Amino acid sequence: MATDVTIPEFTIPSSAASALLTRGTAADTPLDSWPTEAFRTANTEILALRDDILAAIRGDAGGAVVRVDPEGLDDHQVSTLYWNFFTALFRPVPQYSSGELIYPVEVKAGAEETSHYSSSNKAGNYHTDGTLLPQLPDVAFLFGLSAATGGETLLMDVDSLVRQLAGLDPAHVTELSRPVPFDVKNQTEGIRVKRQPVLTRTADGYELRYVRMYIEQGFAAEGTPVPPELLAAMDAFDKVSASAAEHAESVLLERGVGLLWDNRRMLHGRHPFQETTSSRRLRRVYGVAADERAQ
């Protein structure tokens, strides 16, 4: 199964790390004002890493782990380093209608346990990022400033999940290929509900847009119940992904560790975590392919 594919790991050597800090951003730069221009460099280590990581994201693994030694770097320097590296690969795009390009992911373990989504779906919180945006981000990137106990991030390949779903009942795949309403929560101007399919067939396989909570809220916003066939298909999909998650390799996003993935074909989520000894503090960036980034 594709869920057994190992996520390739890459280390940014110290010389490349120094080079990546040569474009500075003021520590008080607003989250919507980080420089989206490509970080241009002649550093051969960075260029080789860029090519290898792009290949890994496009390949079977659908993602790549990247590590840098955070020793001596403060939070802003780790963020600047990874921001510059990301812009060498992709063009960052806003994550909300309010324009944030780099976003702190610092959900309190206790707070999330009480959220509607996790309490309504015990099977897992696996999802696609950016489904409410006008355009789905091609790539998502999370990097760690501090890890909690647990909370490892994991990726699952949509094509493998669809094969398993079809094995349960091909009608589930058909059902998830029909447009369904997503509650866009004012992220797309002038629209309350956006209709889009969970599964879209492409030349290479399937493309995925899945956040169960937004779909259920979309139907609620329209004042219609979720059709039983769709409920059954989502239950089956959650079951398949929960089972796949047991075999999927997971990555603890400790300080200096990042994970990039193909957001169009990888379902992602995280294990539960406790913040008893340290808090889970990540930074998130979305990007779109930018071939012109090549030197």
User: Which residue ranges make up the site for Fe ion (CB under 5 A)?
Assistant: 129
* Nearer Cβ to Fe ion (152/175): 152
Burial of 218 per CB tally in 10 Å (0-12, 13-18, 19+): buried
Q: Tokens 């390009």 belong to which residue?
A: 101
Find the shortest distance in angstroms from Cβ 20 to Fe ion.
Answer: 25
Find the shortest distance in angstroms from Cβ 127 to Fe ion.
Answer: 6
Find the shortest distance in angstroms from Cβ 124 to Fe ion.
Answer: 12
Find the shortest distance in angstroms from Cβ 283 to Fe ion.
Answer: 13
* Nearer Cβ to Fe ion (268/293): 268
* Nearer Cβ to Fe ion (129/207): 129
CB closest to Fe ion, residue no: 129
* Nearer Cβ to Fe ion (173/266): 266
Distances (CA, A) of 116 to 112, 129, 193: 9, 18, 19
* Nearer Cβ to Fe ion (91/268): 268
Find the shortest distance in angstroms from Cβ 128 to Fe ion.
Answer: 8
SS (HEC) of the chain: CHHHCCCCEEEECHHHHHHHCCCCCCCCCCCCCCCCCCCCCCCHHHHHHHHHHHHHHHCCCCEEEEEECCCCCCHHHHHHHHHHHHHHHEEEECCCCCCCCEEEECCCHHHHHCCHHHHHCCCCCCECCCCCCCCCCCEEEEEEEECCEECCEEEEEHHHHHHHHHHHCHHHHHHHCCEEEEECCCCCCCCCEEEEECEEECCCCEEECCCHHHHHHHHHHHCCCCCHHHHHHHHHHHHHHHHHHHHCCEECCCECEEEEEECCCEEEEECCEECCCCCCEEEEEEEEECHHHCC
* Nearer Cβ to Fe ion (53/285): 285
Q: Tokens 């390739």 belong to which residue?
A: 8
Find the shortest distance in angstroms from Cβ 131 to Fe ion.
Answer: 10
142 φ, ψ (degrees, to nearest 5): -120, 135
Find the shortest distance in angstroms from Cβ 266 to Fe ion.
Answer: 11
* Nearer Cβ to Fe ion (129/216): 129
* Nearer Cβ to Fe ion (43/131): 131
Find the shortest distance in angstroms from Cβ 284 to Fe ion.
Answer: 8
